[in-house]
Structure 1
Amino acid sequence: MESIGRIGMPPAGGAGRNPMLSALIAQVFGVLLAGLIVVFLVPQLPRQPLALAAVQGACAVLVSWRLGEPAWRLPIHAVFIPAAVLVNGLELPVWLWPLGFILLLLVFWRTDRSQVPLFLSNRKCRDSVTELLPARPCRVLDLGCGDGALLRHMARARPDCRFVGIEHAPLPWCWAWLSARGRGNLEIRFGNFWNHSLEGYALVHAFLSPAAMPRLAVKVDNEMTAGARLVSNSFPVPDRQPEAVVDVADRRHTRLHVYAPRATQWQ
């Protein structure tokens, strides 16, 4: 840990750092560390490009962890250069590279800014969230709804409720919007959910990331009303006790964290 710091690495704790800069630093330092391994330990490693790429990936993971980047980025760092080496060996047409980049951009959009990757809810999670809906007719919001599968499931189960989903990545939004057509109680909106008020919704579902939870907690406290609930899939709100935790019987051992707005939870 300290030895990494001595070679000039920025301090740990990536919360205030630009995510793209952190990723670039991790990859660059991964290359440098792999180079040191080649020079001082395994000089024959460059003869095996894939093995060298794997070493670089492992070094990038170490640097990313030291920088305090979110855990979901670690496997990306691990496979980024090895995947590039493998794909390069396929001798694919040059035009496939920009096409692949555009496709990834349409699916994940500005994950570097939002720090919220695309997560999809499985069937058991959808069932568990549906069971948390109030018995009365109400409005429900899904923040970052992805392909809209959760909302479609709830809209079918509860035709007496109105469901709204917001998604900012173009391709998932398009799929969700097309799939929602003809469902009178389901609306899919394109945009940034941070700009959408939570007022008037009895239940708000979020499957975001640890990086987004502190800001979401403030938004919930400022905008949600008495009796409303936030259901956070997998990621708890820091320094706050949930009102309930639902253990989902799926392979991921998912936990749904249920919160009341802090300003109203004692009313």
Structure 2
Amino acid sequence: MWILVGLLLVRTLHATQNKSLASNPKCQSLTDCPTGYSNCSKVHGINGNRCIRNVTQLCTGGVPNLPFRPCTRMRDCTDALQTYQGWCDYETKLCCGLPADSEDPMTCPDRLTPLYGQEKCTEVEKGMVYSGNSKQKGGLCYKGYSCPPKITNVHDMAFGSMTFRTNVDCLLDRPVGEKYSFMFCHNETGNLWVIGQLNVNGDEVRKHWTQCQLNEDCGKGFVCVKEDLCRYRCYEDPTEVIDYDSIILQVLAMFLLPLIFLASVIFLTVKYLD
């Protein structure tokens, strides 16, 4: 049910962004645009060019892909997902990428996850690079955005304790790219997740020695994680929520029902003998 709701929400957001850009004045060139507009460009999914006030303001960071393309997630921006270098801006819902002369990779500290494609953190202190609260448990707030708890340094790589979902899209029928160490493609969300020391239930993540290329190689309840040194191994899916209360009730029922049955038999036997 929740997956269906999510899909409906995605379509609504996509339609809203298209409608917003479609309301801009039509143009053939910049001279057709009213005062205050600085660009006349093609917008993906909309007939005819539209006047744009400020191209750089269409992306929180970086510049918009041309033609302008509304999106709800990264896969909306390209047909070549595995080689795409841009992102779907989480705020503006437009496909964006790095300027040609940019020296800033505009990524999270893992040097992989596009910074402006991630959710914003709350209670961020102005001027502080690492501050704020991430909506995802264990998330690392960097420059106001929720990033994977994984920091790549020159000499080592440190991981957080919790498994973390990124907004980087992936393909279930393709192996996770070699640069995405200790990440896997989620079967339901289609996003790359960073595997942590603990799963979503707070239990230690367990791995198996079975080698793999895809999740389907591991079987139900497992995911194929891209480890370092180009190794892929099966891990128990760290995103599966376990209802411990339900398990305890089932275990108790297994023991109590036979006892209740036995007590009933004894009671009826004694009553019959009397």
Q: TM (normalized to structure 2)? A: 0.28
Q: Which structure is larger by alpha-carbon Rg, 1 or 2?
A: 2
Q: Which has the higher strand share?
A: 2
Q: Which has the higher helix share?
A: 1
Q: TM (normalized to structure 1)? A: 0.28
